[in-house]
Amino acid sequence: MAKEKVRMSVNGREIEALVEPRTLLIHFLREELNLTGAHIGCDTSHCGACTVDLDGKSVKSCTMFALQVDGAGITTIEGMAHADGSLSALQEGFRMEHGLQCGFCTPGMIMRAHRLLKENPDPSEEEIRFGISGNLCRCTGYQNIVKAIQYAAAKLRGAPQKEAAE
Amino acid sequence: MNTAVLSREQREAKLEGMGCRRKRVEDIRFTQGKGNYIDDLKLPGMLFGDFVRSQYAHARIKRIDTSKAMQVPGVLAVLTAEELKGVNLAWMPTLAGDVQMVLADGKVLFQNQEIAFVVAQDRYAAADGVEAVEVEYEELPVIVDPFKSMAADAPQLREDLAGKTSGAHGARKHYNHIFEWTVGDKAGTDAAFASAEVTIKELISYHRTHPSPLETCQCVASFDKIKGELTVYGTFQAPHVIRTVAALLSKIPEHKIHVIAPDIGGGFGNKVGAYPGYICAIVASIVTGKPVKWVEDRIENLTTTSFARDYHMTTEIAATRDGKVTGLRVHVLADHGGFDACADPSKFPAGFFAIVTGSYDFPVAHVAVDGVYTNKAPGGVAYRCSLRVTEAAYAIERGMDILAQKLGMDPAELRLKNFIKREQFPYHSALGWEYDSGDYHTAMHKALEAVGYKALRAEQAAKRDAFKRGETREIMGIGLCFFTEIVGAGPSKNCDVLGLAMFDSCEIRLHPTGSAIARMGSKSQGQGHETTYAQIVASEIGIPADDIMVEEGNTDTAPYGIGTFGSRSTPVAGAAIAMAARKIRNKAQMIAAYLLEVHESDLEWDIDGFRVKGLPEKFKGMKEIVWAAYHSPPPGMEPGLEAVSYYDPPNMTYPFGAYICVMDIDVDTGVYQVRRFYALDDCGTRINPMIIEGQVHGGLTEAFAIAMGQEIRYDEIGNVVGGSFLDFFLPTAVETPKWETDHTVTPSPHHPIGAKGVGESPNVGGVPAFSNAVNDAFSFLGTRHIQMPHDHWRNWTVAHKLGLHD
């Protein structure tokens, strides 16, 4: 199948590549760019394990073609840690509040939470639950994911950090 | 360590040993997208395999034409049963003593059964190839309802078994019958029922569902023709067992097979068995000489690899008028699908269903299980469950509520009246188990008090009156469950898989500078073994958990183990860790005695080293002892400090818990609200409370899904209804209730650290609590038993049939 040129910025790096028009964005990220943090969990856009940030919106990268994002800016989980390698507030929150177990949904969940907190820096529990309802987790029952996002929200707002729940 | 500087508390804290809410070491990589899952793996020249699957549930295969597929760009090979017959792999043995087609051999027995395996340069080309394979079918009559499997005129499903009057578990009564398994005292039970003052009898069905971890089943097989070695990377909960199976099937010597399970994105029982995809990827790699990746999509996962449950349990309880149980009789019709591929210990075709007497002191009981074939997917795995324990807990916990209703007794009172008492442990159940320890009354009272049970019942009574007066359209249910599990399979005297005793193992090696590696026969799928196992070692040998690396999943480096399922990691592998650590500590004691110039018996263990009794200043810390083991071992002693333990548990462990669910249901819409869910778990010694609570949250969420909507349903011609996440209910953060956790601690007397395991408890106990809440809500309107799952539509239907919408 004939390939077409696509350009995008991924985690601040300019990418130019030739792709088959039918190549899904998730496959392009994972297999061409070796960014394997975003995962494939369902094939029907329900689980959100493939969530990445695209020009300021959360998108499910299994439901877009790579060609569709021509000219766009993408952030994946690999672009989330601080430049010095330390964990970002959300990554730290997920660890401190035990917001993950098998880790498979985690990159998508963190990318979704990242956008949620950009849109709403001080969400209520209900707003968090609604805000991550496009992302499925089979391990945690979400309770500690909610806490993890609250932890990050507080840290990002500069609110005093409470100790992780005992 | 300088003990003069640090207090005892500081030394303890530094270890981050057992009981500590240690943060997980796994999270550093997972939160950065740096986990290493199967589909992340990329080997040079790697090909991709994909299946052609059956459209029909039961059909004869008249013709398979792969010629067009072979012309699709990128397609390199297409395997069918004919090709596999050349290497004697068209069929494979199952863990349950049956055989299963790897690729359809003459006919198909369930929708989406594997027919051909297309191997191509990438996954897109493989999918193109799948589309181009032509299959001609002749439809055959379908059996979907297991109650019709053994009808006189039922179509024969397994023609390969024609004329065989016995199977792996004894006589077969019908050509669609797999086994009958019985346990208990039939005559005694019949006598108890004959003389009973009160009896109940109910068909309690536990519908078919699926574990559905977020990562599907996948593998990469790579055969090295020059060395004659096979490497299989896969989503394996039991990597060593997979290696042995691969050796037996492929005839490649076991030492030339390397099985590697990297990070696994959830298992829940789905990743215990061996599936056609693994076999086909291995054969394709041998045929092509290239690594071959196989990755299930979600529909394939839900419809082919390992359903769970599908148990139809006719449950009878005999009791006295004042509510003392006198007998239990259960008949199970077990729907095993087209092949019996249950993952149970060999001698237990119905798993540990005999735990069905639950937490109650039944003087006599009898169970009979009939397994039958239907035109459904094979499997019958323990979905977050120790092998049919969930089904058993559901039967008895619904049964007790139905009995309470008949007696006009409060269900909590009935349970308290019949609990096995603390002083009866170790307790021998009527169906042959020896319960290790328990204190049910204390746990139940704590739970009832925590939720304010009496006040809830009073509120419910008032709401019922208001409902009858027409003042509200909402009904309130209080669901109780008091479950006892049996986990940690298991003692070699009665538990094996494929003849392998169900021990587990640990090898600990200390490095000269005082850090360590612990290698395990188990395999985490998200349970956090790298974190918790290190805590056990830390407490046992006084090395900080941060200085201990835990490694699992590589059969070349890990000691042989049976793997992680049935909540066996802590009861079996966790015991192996403690035992290996104690061997190290014993040797360390000899070294310390030499260094301190005293006799070993003059030393006592003190947090992180040995101290001379009565002389607190004479102390040798582990770090110094470890260095001495490599630098200056006592004369005559082998240098080094390492140990291996293969732990064969003397008994299973019996975790228990009290769960209470409070639910409100709108009878006009069927919509329910879980107002409160309280879960008290007793898993014995608690290694990491943070991880325990996380396990309970997750298990309760799965239980909520199963009880309230999650189902693999088939229509009358065997089409899977709900085989994608579009229909298969996985709750989001919005629907998922908030969980309250609590605990009591009753250590296991036979486990080295007293731990019992917890991962599956919430699934086992959660489902009956939800179902009992729904049933309790409707019961005052005249219902006795409402089958799961209790989704909004079904709740509405129940209300409608009760005439509430007239």
Q: What is the pLDDT of residue B693?
A: 98
Mean pLDDT of chain B: 97
Nearest to B323 by CA among B186, B199, B443: B199
Q: What is the pLDDT of residue A162?
A: 58
Q: Does B13 touch chain A (CB under 8 A)?
A: no
**What are the residues facing A6 on neighbouring strands?**
A17
Terminus-to-terminus CA distance in chain B, angstroms? Answer: 78
At residue A165, does pLDDT exceed 50?
Answer: no
At residue A161, does pLDDT exceed 80?
Answer: no
Smallest Cβ–Cβ distance between B214 and the set A31, A41, A166 belongs to A41
Q: What is the pLDDT of residue B208?
A: 98
Q: What is the pLDDT of residue A160?
A: 73
Nearest to B179 by CA among B340, B298, B35: B340
CA pair distance B309, B123, nearest whole angstrom = 33
Cβ–Cβ of A101/B739 closer than 8 Å? no
At residue A1, does pLDDT exceed 90?
Answer: no
Q: Which one is catalytic: B385, B495, B506, B661?
A: B385
Residue B270 DSSP SS3: coil
At residue B60, does pLDDT exceed 80?
Answer: yes
Most B-contacting residue of A101, A106, A124 (CB-CB within 10 A), to test interface: A101
Domain extent listing, chain A: 4-79, 89-157
Query: Is B481 part of the annotated catalytic residue set?
Result: no
Q: What is the pLDDT of residue B722?
A: 85
Cβ–Cβ of B697/A141 closer than 8 Å? yes
Mean pLDDT for the stretch of residues B189-212 = 98
* Residue range B72-95, pLDDT digits in tens: 999 999 999 999 999 999 999 999
CA pair distance B382, B344, nearest whole angstrom = 8
Q: What is the pLDDT of residue B490?
A: 85
Contacts of A142 in chain B (CB under 8 A): 697, 701, 732-733, 736
- Beta pairing, strands B720-721 & B713-714: antiparallel
Band of residue A166 on the pLDDT scale cut at 50, 70, 90: very low
* Residue range A24-39, pLDDT digits in tens: 999 999 999 999 999 9
* Residue range B207-223, pLDDT digits in tens: 999 999 999 999 999 99
At residue B399, does pLDDT exceed 50?
Answer: yes
Q: Answer yes or no: same fold for B8-35+504-647 and B307-489+652-801.
A: yes
Mean pLDDT for the stretch of residues B430-447 = 98
Q: Does B30 touch chain A (CB under 8 A)?
A: yes
CATH code 3.90.1170.50 for B38-140+216-264+271-299: yes
At residue B621, does pLDDT exceed 50?
Answer: yes
CATH number at B8-35+504-647: 3.30.365.10
Task: Count Cα atoms within 13 angstroms, Cβ side, for B795.
Answer: 29
At residue B488, does pLDDT exceed 70?
Answer: yes
* Residue range B646-674, pLDDT digits in tens: 999 999 999 999 999 999 999 999 999 99
E strand or H helix at B652 = none
Mean pLDDT for the stretch of residues B132-158 = 98
Query: Is B131 part of the annotated catalytic residue set?
Result: no
3-state secondary structure labels for all residues of B468-535: HCCCCCEEEEEEEEEEECCECCCCCCCCEECCEECCEEEEEEECCCCCEEEEECCCCCCCCHHHHHHH
Query: For the stretch B370-389, what's the b/e string if a residue is b when 16 or more beta carbons lie within 10 angstroms of its beta carbon?
Result: bbbbbbbbbbbbbbbbbbbb
At residue B283, does pLDDT exceed 70?
Answer: yes
Cβ–Cβ of A103/B27 closer than 8 Å? yes
CA pair distance B12, B18, nearest whole angstrom = 10
Nearest to B725 by CA among A138, A99, A25: A138
Smallest Cβ–Cβ distance between B214 and the set A43, A136, A166 belongs to A136
Torsion (CA) B159, B163, B168, B174 in degrees, nearest 10: 80
Q: Which one is catalytic: B329, B384, B388, B585?
A: B384
% helix / strand / coil in chain A, to the nearest 5?
A: 35, 15, 45
* Residue range B572-614, pLDDT digits in tens: 999 999 999 999 999 999 999 999 999 999 999 999 999 999 9
Nearest to A38 by CA among A14, A66, A17, A19: A66
CA pair distance B441, B446, nearest whole angstrom = 8
| Nearest-Cα residue of chain A relative to residue B762 | A141
Is the sign of the CA dihedral B192, B195, B196, B201 positive or negative? positive
Q: B307-489+652-801: what fold?
A: Aldehyde Oxidoreductase; domain 4 (3.30.365)
* Residue range B372-384, pLDDT digits in tens: 999 999 998 999 9
| Token pair in block for residue B768 | 């009956």
Residue B371 to residues A24, B350, B409, B436, B721, Cα–Cα distance (Å):
44, 8, 35, 30, 23
E-assigned strands of B320-464?
A: 325-335, 365-372, 379-381, 427-428, 434-435
Query: Is B385 part of the annotated catalytic residue set?
Result: yes
Is the sign of the CA dihedral B461, B466, B469, B473 positive or negative? negative
Contacts of A36 in chain B (CB under 8 A): 33, 37, 39-40
Q: Does B139 touch chain A (CB under 8 A)?
A: no
Q: Does B740 touch chain A (CB under 8 A)?
A: no
CA pair distance A140, B203, nearest whole angstrom = 33
| Token pair in block for residue B785 | 């038993």
What value of ipTM does the predicted structure carry?
Answer: 0.97
* Residue range B747-778, pLDDT digits in tens: 999 999 999 999 999 999 999 999 999 999 99
Mean pLDDT for the stretch of residues B541-567 = 96
At residue A163, does pLDDT exceed 90?
Answer: no
Cβ–Cβ of B697/A102 closer than 8 Å? no
Most B-contacting residue of A50, A104, A149 (CB-CB within 10 A), to test interface: A104
Q: Does B2 touch chain A (CB under 8 A)?
A: no
Token look-up 């008032």 returns: B462
Query: Is B384 part of the annotated catalytic residue set?
Result: yes
Q: At what angle do helices A106-119 and A89-96 cross, to 10 degrees?
A: 120
Cβ–Cβ of A104/B37 closer than 8 Å? yes
Cβ–Cβ of B42/A31 closer than 8 Å? yes
Share of chain B above pLDDT 90, in %: 97
CA pair distance B412, B184, nearest whole angstrom = 27
Q: At what angle do helices B276-288 and B239-250 cross, to 10 degrees?
A: 60
Class of domain A89-157 (CATH, top level)? mainly alpha
CA pair distance B497, B495, nearest whole angstrom = 7
In chain B, count of helices (H) and strands (E)?
19, 37
Mean pLDDT for the stretch of residues B445-461 = 98
Most A-contacting residue of B25, B32, B700, B706 (CB-CB within 10 A), to test interface: B32
Q: What is the pLDDT of residue B1?
A: 46
Domain extent listing, chain B: 8-35+504-647, 38-140+216-264+271-299, 307-489+652-801
At residue A164, does pLDDT exceed 50?
Answer: no
The angle subtended at Cα B167 by Cα B163 and Cα B169, nearest 5°, is: 155
Q: What is the pLDDT of residue B684?
A: 97
| Nearest-Cα residue of chain A relative to residue B213 | A138
Q: A4-79: what fold?
A: Ubiquitin-like (UB roll) (3.10.20)
Terminus-to-terminus CA distance in chain A, angstroms? Answer: 57
Query: Could you tell me if residue B642 is left (phi over 0), alpha (psi between -120 and 50 degrees) or otherwise beta?
Result: beta
CA pair distance B537, B553, nearest whole angstrom = 19
Cβ–Cβ of A39/B37 closer than 8 Å? yes
